[in-house]
Structure formats: structure tokens, C-alpha cells
Amino acid sequence: MKHIYLNLKRFDIPLEFGGVNRIAPIDQWGQYIIENVQDGLDAYDCSLVEFTLFFPELHLLDAIRSRREGSSLKIGSQGVFRQDTSVGGNFGAFTCGRTANAMKAAGCTAVLIGHCEERKDKLGIMQEAGKEDTDAVNRILNQEVKAAIEAGLDVLYCIGENAQEQDHWQEVLEKQVRIGLEGADLSKVTIAYEPIWAIGPGKTPPDAPYIQKIAAYIKEISGGLDVVYGGGLKTDNAKMLASIPEIDGGLIALTRFSGEIGYYPDEYLEIIRTYLDK
């Protein structure tokens, strides 16, 4: 099974507010995306490839409503809270918490957990308190993973090393996998590898041998879980990534990195065509 994920981050914010949304008014943005990609995915056998889009919470209901019956698209949220409601227990006192049960009730089937931006945020909160404990971040993410799976959501769990961690990347990735997935139902988990040190303007992305080495190691320490490339699946690296047997897909964010930077549905479909060689 191949997995193509799309993280729409906060690409809904209009240009006049500093965002990159050039495609639709914000109240129509989620609907526009679904309506402009789902028909193009009918060319692919959904038993062989899975398409999942992670939306900002504001747009989930519109996106889910816009899925036609039989659509191959799955819709997910960009994270969940580490605690949740339960029958006979807490009925929902989680102000500001995006609980997994709430996302499941809304119609989501998947969730993105442990993205490098989420890890950075959690570590930043600890640093404000004079602490720097990446193991604690992994333990918090483990609670989120378990909450998501308990609610019936599939999990895309992100791991990766930053520039300061490159010289001991095996230790970093091993802890992220071991602690972050401890006690979780691994049949509900796919791993995304993010080479954090290589993400961003002007940075050199890893080559195929490096990605293959990392993916093979992740499969070894995770018991053979599917591994997708989270450093950005795009048109110019799609064929290279497709040639790596240890890579089972990719995580797309931006589709255009120069000029009118942003996300464009037709370019999303082009990335998929290139990766799947259609």
C-alpha cells in the first residue's frame, strides 16, 4: 500500500493577512480543495494507494461535506489533544483541546501527530519553564497517539532529527519511535520521516541513499511499519522517492515553492501523477 498525505497547514489565510491563500475565499476554501481534487484521484486503485488530507479544524466540516459518496479521499485533523471524553467519565471539559472523539464525530478518519512544528511548540513551552526534555515531548505525543487510536483514527506519526541531532540520529529516531509509540496499536500507524535539518529555503535535501538508509532503519526499529517521506513530496523529487523501495509514499505541503507560493489543487494532482508514474 502506498500513502499520499497532504498537510494543508494554515494555507487558508488570505494574502492580505500574510498568508498564501490565492485559490478561494476562506469560507469556501475547504470545499474548493475537495471539489478540485477528488475526481482526479479516481484514476487510482484505492486498494493500492491511500490519499489523506489534513485540514485546519475550521475547514473540516466543509471538506467532509464536499466528499462525494465513494470518494477515495480521507480527511484528517492536524493533531489531537492528549486526553478525551469517555462514557461515564469526563464529558468534555477540554477548553482549547481538539479531542480525538470530537474529530471522529466530525467525520475525520485520520490525524497527523508529532509534526516537527508540533514538537518544536511543545519543546518551546518546556524551555519557557527552564526545561529541555525531548523524551517528555515523546511521552506527550504517545498520549496523543493512544487517544487518537482509541477514538478510531488512523495516525500519521512524524519523526525526524534536526541539525544539532544529526551526529546521533539513530538515538533520536529510536527514542521517538520507542517512546512515542509505546503501547499503541501499530496497525493504525504510519510513520513520516522528516529530515528537519534539510527543510526550508536554501537548505540541501537528502539524497536517495540517505533517505533509503533512514527508512530502512525506521522499519527495523518499528517492526516494519510503512514509512513515508515527510521532507516534502513534490514534483521534482517524486520519481526519486518512488525509486526507493523502503519508502511507501510521501507527505505533501506546499505545491509551489517559488513565484506565487502556495497550495494549488492541480499541482497536487501533478505530484501524484509523477510519483505514481501515471
The 3-state DSSP class for residue 216 equals helix
Instruction: Let me know how long the chain is.
Output: 278
Whether 168 is catalytic: no
Listed residue (226, 240, 154) closest to 193, CA to CA: 226
Catalytic hit among 118, 161, 194, 246: 194
Give every CB contact of residue 9 below 8 A, 6+ residues apart in sequence.
Answer: 56, 78, 253
Whether 194 is catalytic: yes
The Cα–Cα gap between 180 and 157 comes to 9
Q: Residue 262 carries which DSSP code?
A: B
Say if residue 180 is exposed, middle or buried (CB neighbours under 10 Å; 0-12, 13-18, 19+).
buried
* 192 DSSP β-pair partners: 158, 228
263 within 8 A of 272, measured Cβ to Cβ: no
The Cα–Cα gap between 61 and 57 comes to 8
Centre a 10 Å sphere on the Cβ of residue 203 and count the other Cβ atoms it contains.
12
Range 132-161 burial, b when 16+ CB lie within 10 A, else e: eebeebbebbbbbbbbbbbbebbbbbbbbb
Catalytic hit among 115, 118, 144, 246: 115
Which CA distances in Å does 264 have to 31, 74, 209, 268?
13, 18, 30, 6
Residues designated as active site: 115, 194
